[in-house]
Amino acid sequence: MLDELSLSTTVFGRERAGLPVEKMLDLIAEAGYRHIELSRHHDLAGRTETVRRAGLRVWSIHGVSGAAAASLDERVRRRQVDDECRRIEALACFAPAPCVVHYVDRRLDREYGRQFRRSIEEIHAFAVRFGFTVAVETAPYKPQVDERYPDSAEIAAFVRSFATPDLRMTVDINHSNLHERLDAVAANCDGLIANVHLSDNHGQWEDHLPPGEGIIDLKQTFAQLRLHGYEGPANLEYHVPEPPDAAALRRVRLRTLELLGWQRE
């Protein structure tokens, strides 16, 4: 899937009554995309035919797990894992798409880390039954929110400790450039990269800007990801104030292809 783009449905915000899923998919296809990542805010359970009719393929699926996956309250943690597993089962028709989960061990208390590991063990064991790869995402640098920053080396070591080919990583470029060099991130995650989140920022906060609106050298970064084993599409996960139309989606697609140095229309 070299030199392909994928688009996260997160660009449309949360699912809204005024924009049915079918319309959302049609806009993506009209803009020239052929692959999508299914946002945690959207549901395509049992809708394989809807995706096929739009001429699209689900490249990856974003899970719903958040900080509760590391909760010290076992009832809370268990509910979060159960929610994730229900989503995995409901979307099994899209396997073997990578299933993205956040790395939420961001507190100083090591018990949170142990609880998070339990959650990943349970989610992973459930996901592989349906043919999914679980892809743990690199974390943003948020000193205003999190007690500590788990860098890409830590997350890669966590993933490697499971010693299984179907637990890998999502490198979120927008997250990782806030506190690390992106070439170092790619090297730390060597051989583990199953998915990429591509958006831009100004180096201070996870702005999730469309490519080209910030400071990230996307061409060089993507070349490093390829060098370290990533073979999937450039998967765009950007945010805009209002749901875009097909023309706006197409502009971002063409701009991204230009920034990456790939062939454009």
Confidence bin at 1 (pLDDT 50/70/90): low
Q: Are 132 and 97 in contact (CB under 8 A)?
A: yes
CA-based torsion, 237, 77, 193, 171: positive or negative: positive
pLDDT of residue 47: 87
DSSP H or E stretch at residue 48:
helix 48-53
DSSP H or E stretch at residue 113:
helix 110-128
Segment 89-104 shows an average pLDDT of 96
* Percentage with pLDDT > 90 across the chain: 90
Residue spans per domain, the chain: 5-260
Confidence bin at 213 (pLDDT 50/70/90): very high
Instruction: For residues 265 and 234, give the distance between their C-alpha atoms in angstroms, rounded to a whole number.
Output: 17
Confidence bin at 17 (pLDDT 50/70/90): low
User: Which whole-number Å values give the CA distances from 137 to 17, 101, 191, 194, in the listed order?
Assistant: 30, 6, 15, 10
- pLDDT higher than threshold 60 for residue 265: no
* pLDDT per position as a tens digit, 120-178: 999 999 999 999 999 999 999 999 999 999 999 999 999 999 999 999 999 999 999 99
Domain boundaries 5-260, CATH class: alpha beta
- pLDDT higher than threshold 80 for residue 15: no
Residues with Cβ within 8 Å of residue 182, at least 6 apart in sequence: 173, 176, 216, 217, 220, 221, 224
Question: Across the chain, what does the average pLDDT equal?
Answer: 95
Segment 198-225 shows an average pLDDT of 96
Q: Are 69 and 116 in contact (CB under 8 A)?
A: yes
pLDDT of residue 49: 92
Give all strands (DSSP E) within 90-233, no chain letters.
98-102, 133-137, 167-172, 193-197
Segment 42-58 shows an average pLDDT of 92
Place of tokens 């979120």: 172
pTM for this one?
0.96
